[in-house]
Structure 1
Amino acid sequence: MTDIIRDPQAIEQKSFEIIDAEVGEHCFSEQEWPIVRRIVHTTADFDFVANTLITDGAVAAALTVLQQGCAIYCDTNMVLSGVNKSRLTAFGCSISCHVGDTDVAEQAKAEGVTRSIVALRKGVAEGCRIFLIGNAPTALYELLQLCRDGKVEPALIVGAPVGFVGAAESKEELVASGLSQITCRGRKGGSAIAAAICNALLLLAEKGN
């Protein structure tokens, strides 16, 4: 009979050991690797080792604003649910998602655009410094336009929209922008990944990295 590991910390540690062993040498820094490893742990997909881009200084910029108690915006309630609230609270951070707000739905219908676009604008108006985009390419496109217009200067953009229409393209536009980012290139992505990246950053901030 197979020995079953029941302790959650032991399960996570064993998973990390397996990931480290299977990946071997990689190009990520000591600060970046825990983030990429967390993505692989969340998805069981080693493609993310090759597909994840972290710009120079992005992690440090994110940790600085997290430790200052910044506001975070995410594009889905699934991302919102997946982020560790106790660690957020410990730093005095807040996180919001407005895609389900009544006023957002009404304005989106009036403009003939997605709720994700209008919801993203609301997050920008709140002064959010970190943006977690795990689902909607339209939200990422809108954020990039607002950056070009000088209406927002994110400390970090997590670009992980998923799908076949606009996901890969929006992320390539993010890459080309040179903005501070953690981007999962290609079609793959998702809310769980965006939340995992945020949680990895919170752990690094907690450790004082």
Structure 2
Amino acid sequence: MTASPPYRYIKDPAEIYRESARLIREASDLSAVPDELHDVAIRLIHTCGRPDVVTGLRASAGAAEAGRQALAAGKPILCDVEMVSKGIIRSRLPKRNEVMCTLGLGAVAPLAQRLGTTRSAAAVDLWQPWLAGAVVAIGNAPTALFHLLERIHEGFPKPALILGFPVGFVGATESKQALIESGLPYIALTGREGGSALAAAAVNALTGSLDT
């Protein structure tokens, strides 16, 4: 049996994170990103490997701090899909915050049929008991973000922060623009880009920067 090739690579997790953060800062222009969003920007770049992804990053004033305070107060994180939920690093959550996704509940499919919408949107209706002061992470379905905005307009409780990262060619751009114009606290990635990994990364950024 031949010897394995002499691969040279960093194995220490802490060193990997430190080196990643250093290289991201070297490769990225964060001058247009507010200081309070630097952790979020770095996490997003780290997740997709593209420094230019932050050109579409937008946020309301004080949004990141509002999210951090909500997590510190033990508020839950509401996710539109399980992929977002699974990407959140539970060990970093300050109060062992509950991470919830209602998409798979049995009530969702008949509710979607009754409402004439997607299951992702219908699942938002089940968030009502936990929505007040929560952190919402939407990383897949534009219909979920649109429906959330509709329900809040109709009287649902307001979350502390909405992370708007729905992805795709139908409704993603428009739903995020609606969020930006809603007056609600938000962090969003404009345009078609987004996805579950980026939404989870934004949550993880609120619990600690990449290089700590």
1:68/1:92 contact within 8 Å kept: no
Residue 113 of structure 1: SS of its match in structure 2?
coil
Residue 50 of structure 2: SS of its match in structure 1?
coil
Structure 1 residue 116 corresponds to structure 2 residue 129:
no
Structure 1 residue 23 corresponds to structure 2 residue 32:
no
Structure 1's consecutive aligned runs of 4 or more residues displaced over 2 angstroms after TM superposition are: 27-31, 109-112, 124-128
| Whole-angstrom CA distance in 2 between matches of 1:101 and 1:7 | 40
2:30/2:38 contact within 8 Å kept: no
Code of the residue aligned with 1:182 in structure 2: it is I
1:70/1:92 contact within 8 Å kept: no
Residue 35 of structure 2: SS of its match in structure 1?
coil
1:62/1:156 contact within 8 Å kept: yes
Sort the Cα spacing of 1:133 and 1:154 in 2 relative to 1 into closer, same or farther, 3 A. Answer: same
Residue of structure 1 equivalent to 2:3: none
| Whole-angstrom CA distance in 2 between matches of 1:19 and 1:121 | 39
Sort the Cα spacing of 1:25 and 1:74 in 2 relative to 1 into closer, same or farther, 3 A. Answer: closer
Sort the Cα spacing of 1:105 and 1:45 in 2 relative to 1 into closer, same or farther, 3 A. Answer: same
Residue of structure 1 equivalent to 2:156: 151
Code of the residue aligned with 1:191 in structure 2: it is S
Code of the residue aligned with 1:96 in structure 2: it is M
- Report Cα offsets for 1:23-80 as digits up to 9, x if no partner: 1451233331011110010001223221001211111111111111001100010011
Code of the residue aligned with 1:184 in structure 2: it is L
| Whole-angstrom CA distance in 1 between matches of 2:56 and 2:128 | 27
Sort the Cα spacing of 1:119 and 1:37 in 2 relative to 1 into closer, same or farther, 3 A. Answer: same
Code of the residue aligned with 1:170 in structure 2: it is S
2:43/2:201 contact within 8 Å kept: yes
Q: Which has the larger radius of gyration?
A: 2
Residue of structure 2 equivalent to 1:102: 106
Residue 31 of structure 1: SS of its match in structure 2?
helix
TM-score normalised to structure 1 length = 0.91
- Report Cα offsets for 1:103-148 as digits up to 9, x if no partner: 1112212333211111111113333511100000000001111222
2:131/2:158 contact within 8 Å kept: no
Q: What count of residue pairs does the alignment treat as equivalent?
A: 204
Code of the residue aligned with 2:71 in structure 1: it is L
**Structure 2 residue aligned with 1:6, among 11, 17, 25?**
11
| Whole-angstrom CA distance in 2 between matches of 1:113 and 1:25 | 39
- Identity rate of aligned residues, in percent? 38
Structure 1 residue 184 corresponds to structure 2 residue 185:
no
Sort the Cα spacing of 1:25 and 1:183 in 2 relative to 1 into closer, same or farther, 3 A. Answer: closer
1:99/1:115 contact within 8 Å kept: yes
| Whole-angstrom CA distance in 2 between matches of 1:9 and 1:138 | 38
Residue of structure 2 equivalent to 1:76: 81
| Whole-angstrom CA distance in 2 between matches of 1:58 and 1:110 | 34
TM-score normalised to structure 2 length = 0.89
Pairs within 5 Å for 1:153-168: 153-168=158-173
1:53/1:185 contact within 8 Å kept: yes
